[in-house]
Copies of this chain bind each other. A is one copy, B any other.
């Protein structure tokens, strides 16, 4: 834990809390400034504009998410376990990191260019993460080697399709149980051997 002596980092932390509670649109520069015990004009010494503050918050949360996922994946031995760790960790922390979640999902943020950038970055990173696991599995002769690019894309897309009905309707323990069954399909298919 590095001590925060730099003003900028502190402001980002404070903004993160406000954005988490009220969202990007409903949080005002003035509120952030007051919470940081500053005049709002002072914020412009550290940030170009409001978007810039939100961008930094999102960057911060993105890094936290990436690190959590990397840790969880690295901890596992088999590529099968790595894929499972990726999915579970992603679902768990995405829900906690309110701002990056909003940046990725909320319709009303779609128009902002920097949000689109964040989404694209996140998408590419997720694809890359899965691709790396698949490649490793292939190198270890555990997975067969079809179209890795397409398979990664499919896993991520399918995950997004499952995400919404899953998180809404289903309690967490049952969720892991279901995930195991679906991974069983991903790994071994549904055709009798």
Contacts and interface: CB of A to CB of B under 8 A. Distances in A.
A181 B137 CA distance: 18
Given A143-B191, A144-B192, A191-B143, A157 B150 contact: no
Contact of A146 (B141, B158, B185, B186): B185
Nearest to A160: B161
A185 B143 contact: no
A141 to B, nearest CB: 6
A143 B107 contact: no
A150 B190 CA distance: 12
A192 to B, nearest CB: 5
B150 A181 contact: yes
Contacts of A147: 178, 181
What is the interface of chain A mostly: helix, strand, loop, or mixed? helix
A2 interface: no
A182 interface: yes
Contact of A162 (B80, B157, B189, B192): B157
Interface string A134-170: 1001000111101100110110011111110110000
A154 B182 contact: yes
Contacts of A163: 161
Given A158-B157, A158-B158, A159-B161, A178 B150 contact: yes
